[in-house]
Amino acid sequence: MMMGTEAQTTSLTSAQQEVVAHTSGPLLVLAGPGSGKTTVVTKRIANMIANGIAPYNILALTFTNKAAQEMRARVFTLLEEQGLHARGLTVATFHSFCARVLRDWGDRIIGTTTFTIYDTADQRSAIKAAIRACELSESNWKPASALAAISAAKNKLIDVETFQEEASDFYTKSIAKIYRAYENILRGNDAVDFDDLLLKAAQLLHRDEEVRQSLQDRYQYLMIDEYQDTNHTQFIIANSIAKNHRNICVVGDPDQSIYAWRGADIKNILEFEEQYGDTEIVPLGRNFRSTGHIVKTSALLIEHNAQRKEKKLFTELDDGNMPNLLSLEGEHEEAAAIVKEAVRLREEGVLLKEMAVLYRVNALSRVLEDAFRNEGVPYVVARGTAFYARQEIKQALSYLRLLVNPRDDVAFVRVINTPTRGIGATSVSRLEHLARQRDLSMLEAISLVTKDQGFTARSVTSMKKFAETLYQWQVDGRSEESLTAAGSLADLVERVVRESGLEEFYSKNAGEDDLERLQNLEELVSAASEFEERTEVDEDNPLTPLHLLFTFLEHVALVSDADAVDPKNGAVTLMTLHASKGLEFDFVAIAGLEEGVLPHERSLYEDTQMEEERRLCYVGITRARKHLLLSNARRRTQRGLSNRTMASRFIREMTGSSLHQEVAVEPWEAPSQEEVYEDEVTVGSVVRHKRFGIGKVQRIIRRTRGSTVTVQFRGGVKHLVLEYANLELVPPGISPDF
């Protein structure tokens, strides 16, 4: 049996072997696309452990839960093959690691260790409340813009006090007021947002010598994946931990730095060796993913950037098919050409799940979706963590959050009258006022509610019952008896869904939407069950359902957008270029290569932003294994007007022997109604609508933004959007009853 370095370096390139064999001192790995980065990183960790470094002393940080889970599983497998173990190894996302730090020492910086992590929806609710508290108008102060400004400040380690001191004009002073009110809401609810996880952990490491020393002593070896995506706060955290032992390995690619808009600082990787003077630099330029022509095309493009570290990009795979560059008359021709190529490749044996269509902005997806739908080609639009954002799931999670954090007023407001229990907006407002007066949470304030304070008898009764139900769930969830229940966490979640009234509420109607919501609630119970099965249990100290719920909610809050893409889906994936990072497909089409689209109009006059747009295009190209299609439309409809476009400068930059260019000019014609809805709804059809009953189609108007249908029902004429009307064809022989 091979042991140590020999076992981990078998079948690796010389550059990869160099990375794996490196165990101490600062190391910068410049990992190009498809360079086997994950394999190298995991084998390096396994090699360190095989050579005597305690897993307990190793910390590996990445950016998605999926990447962290994969890295951990691979390391465990590699070591098991050698009869070794990795118990004590920490592999986590930055946010989950910081959450763990704050669970241990949060009382020193935020006053509690039992905080709630607010997701995007919670943040929106809190910022709206903050704007109202500042007596400002949401029409003038957009919640999303205010949140973005606050997030940008936190990513630069600017707390509310510093922000207020530096505010110099009306805008920044107003944002400072909102920032202060927002922070007061978070602290009052014992809550933190995603940015706080990093900010507070960084502040704690800076201010508290005991905490800093403890983390330095434990994590003597630090490895960071996707280092080009780190922001200033993450740099401070990493540097604070690695400062003493200096055993830090960062892996990344400046050419794939595409997240400046959310705070990523490319300088972290470009200036790494300045921070650590004796840094060893190892470039991984060999691409194991893409064919020769695709690699050459990507190299031609990215060479035009100045902010980068030079590395030779090459592959030993065959040249393969030349990428196609199509210039079409309009966006409909462009979409049709992309669908045509997908159909052709499907006939040649390429699976739909191995195809992706990428675009710079979401608005481009509409015409693409129409084209795929009209040709009957299955597709899925990657929209992030949609499941946990659905209405019924947010409601159920809010109930669950109140069990672990009764001070969470945002969760409280979301469910106090959901389902309806006779507690109106006026009662909620009075309760909120009472809570503020007494410095209590809204749930705590319920104990003080009486009819004498202006509450109706019904609302008093309903509020008391609501609080009693929550209390009983808490008691039962932490009881010793609950430890013996099979699937205890799932049982608790299922009980909350049932006894909260959500199950009954969505069972009242037989519509498809309500049925889907019920199924989603059932899926939440399944998610809790699966989480419990994956959770490592100390048999001598078993966790109660309430303890498990605490970690489950943290897991849900930390799920990232990149985790939402399902690689098993038997459909073409439509997604933004940003969302495609880290993925790969046999066939990739990139639509909209036009000035103002890709590169985006915001980047046209700024060199730094233009370079990021070029990196974004580069990332898209390098997602392709075998087939690449690049396209642009010479006319594109914007804001209802068809405008002439200019081909992207990126086309000129990558044009060479590796590109096959075609110009297609066939004009697009809107398909006739008969073509689109053949054997379905046509003029004269008798149809059934679930609300209006049976009617007869009088007129259909085909529009590029959605067809409309006019139907004569017994109750009158209705004009409906055909796509959403869900009309059912009535069998021959049945006539409208009018």
Q: Can you read off the two tokens belonging to residue 400?
A: 């669950």
Residue closest to 550 by CA, chosen among 114, 107, 200: 114
- Enumerate residues 6+ apart whose C-beta is below 8 A from 377: 339, 342, 343, 346, 352, 572
Annotated catalytic residue: which of 122, 190, 196, 226?
Answer: 226
How many beta carbons lie within 10 A of that of residue 264, not counting itself? 23
Whether the upstream peptide bond of residue 419 has omega within 30° of 0, thus cis, is yes
Hey, which bits of 383-488 come out as E strands?
none
**DSSP conformation class of 3:** -
How many beta carbons lie within 10 A of that of residue 276, not counting itself? 17
DSSP-assigned states of every residue in 212-242: HHHHHHH--EEEESSGGG--HHHHHHHHHHH
Name the residue with tokens 């973005």: 148
Residue closest to 223 by CA, chosen among 3, 101, 43, 83: 43
Annotated catalytic residue: which of 116, 256, 544, 576?
Answer: 256
Annotated catalytic residue: which of 37, 517, 581, 614?
Answer: 37
Say whether 689 sits in a helix, a strand or coil.
strand
Catalytic residue status for 226: yes
Residue closest to 612 by CA, chosen among 307, 350, 322: 307
**DSSP conformation class of 668:** P
Q: Can you read off the two tokens belonging to residue 193?
A: 């947002």
Name the strands in the sheet holding 90-93, side by side, starting at the edge strand that comes first in the sequence. Answer: 90-93, 58-62, 221-224, 248-252, 27-31, 280-284
Residue closest to 619 by CA, chosen among 227, 382, 290: 290
Catalytic residue status for 613: no
Annotated catalytic residue: which of 407, 615, 623, 634?
Answer: 623
Catalytic residue status for 708: no
Whether the upstream peptide bond of residue 599 has omega within 30° of 0, thus cis, is yes
Measure Cα distances from 408 to 212, 329, 338, 413 in Å.
30, 54, 48, 9
Catalytic residue status for 354: no
* HSE of 456, CA atoms in CB hemisphere, 13 A: 11
- Enumerate residues 6+ apart whose C-beta is below 8 A from 503: 497, 518, 521
Residue closest to 178 by CA, chosen among 110, 124, 115: 124
Rounded Cα–Cα distance for residues 350 and 492 (Å): 44
Say whether 709 sits in a helix, a strand or coil.
strand
What's the alpha-carbon Rg for the chain, to the nearest Å?
29
Between helices 194-207 and 232-242, what is the axis angle to 10°?
40
Give the torsion sign (CA, 455, 459, 465, 470).
Answer: negative
| Residue 526 phi, psi (nearest 5) | -60, -40
Strand partners, 92: 61
Catalytic residue status for 623: yes
Rounded Cα–Cα distance for residues 650 and 655 (Å): 8
Q: Can you read off the two tokens belonging to residue 161?
A: 């006090």
How many beta carbons lie within 10 A of that of residue 168, not counting itself? 8
What b/e sequence results for 692-720 when a residue is b if at least 16 CB atoms lie within 10 Å of its CB, and e otherwise? Answer: bebbbbeebeeeeeebebbbebeeeeeeb
Catalytic residue status for 401: no
Annotated catalytic residue: which of 119, 193, 225, 408?
Answer: 225
- Enumerate residues 6+ apart whose C-beta is below 8 A from 430: 453, 454, 455
Catalytic center residues: 37-38, 225-226, 256, 623
